[in-house]
Amino acid sequence: MKVQKQELHKLIQNKLHRAGLTEEHADIVADVLVHADIRGYHSHGAMRVEYYAERIDKGGINTDPNFTFEKTGPTTAIFDGDNGVGHVVAKKSMEEAIAMAKENGVAIVGAKKMSHSGALSYFVQQAAEEDLIGISVCQSDPMVVPFGGAEPYYGTNPIAFACRGKDNELVTFDMATTVQAWGKILDKRSRNESIPDTWAVDKDGNPTTDPFKVNALLPIAGPKGYGLMMMVDILSGVLLGLPYGNKVSSMYEDLTEYRNLGQLHIVINPEYFAGLKVFKESLTNSMNDLNNIKPAPGFKEVSYPGQRSAMREQENEKNGIEILDDIVEYLQSDVIHHNSYDNKDPFAK
Ligand code: NAI
* Residue 337 annotated to the active site: no
Name the CA dihedral angle for 37, 40, 41, 44, rounded to a multiple of 10 degrees: 10
What is the rounded CA–CA span in Å between residue 134 and residue 265? 7
Indicate whether residue 261 lines ligand 1 (CB < 6 A): no
The dihedral through the CA atoms of 276, 280, 283, 289 has a sign that is negative
E strand map for 286-340? 321-322
| Mean predicted lDDT score pLDDT of the chain | 95
CA of 178 to the centre of ligand 1 (A): 10
Indicate whether residue 32 lines ligand 1 (CB < 6 A): no
* Per-residue pLDDT tens over the stretch 8-26: 999 999 999 999 999 999 9
The CATH fold assigned to 2-275+310-332 is: Ribosomal Protein S8; Chain: A, domain 1 (3.30.1370)
Global pTM value: 0.96
CB 122 within 8 A of CB 88: no
Angle at CA 66, nearest 5°, toward 63 and 71? 140
Indicate whether residue 161 lines ligand 1 (CB < 6 A): no
pLDDT given for residue 349 in this prediction: 47
User: For the residues of 195-212, what is the DSSP string, one character each?
Assistant: --TTSEE-TTS-B-S-GG
> Choosing from 17, 35, 44, 116, which is the catalytic residue?
116
Smallest CA separation from ligand 1 atom 33, residue: 119
What is the rounded CA–CA span in Å between residue 3 and residue 46? 11
* Per-residue pLDDT tens over the stretch 254-312: 999 999 999 999 999 999 999 999 999 999 999 999 999 999 999 999 999 999 999 99
Smallest CA separation from ligand 1 atom 43, residue: 176
pLDDT more than 70, % of the chain: 98
53 by DSSP, 3-state: which? helix
Sequence-ordered alpha helix ranges (H) in 129-275: 182-191, 223-236
CA of 333 to the centre of ligand 1 (A): 31
Tell which atom from ligand 1 comes closest to the C-alpha of 177: 25
What is the rounded CA–CA span in Å between residue 161 and residue 159? 7
Indicate whether residue 134 lines ligand 1 (CB < 6 A): no
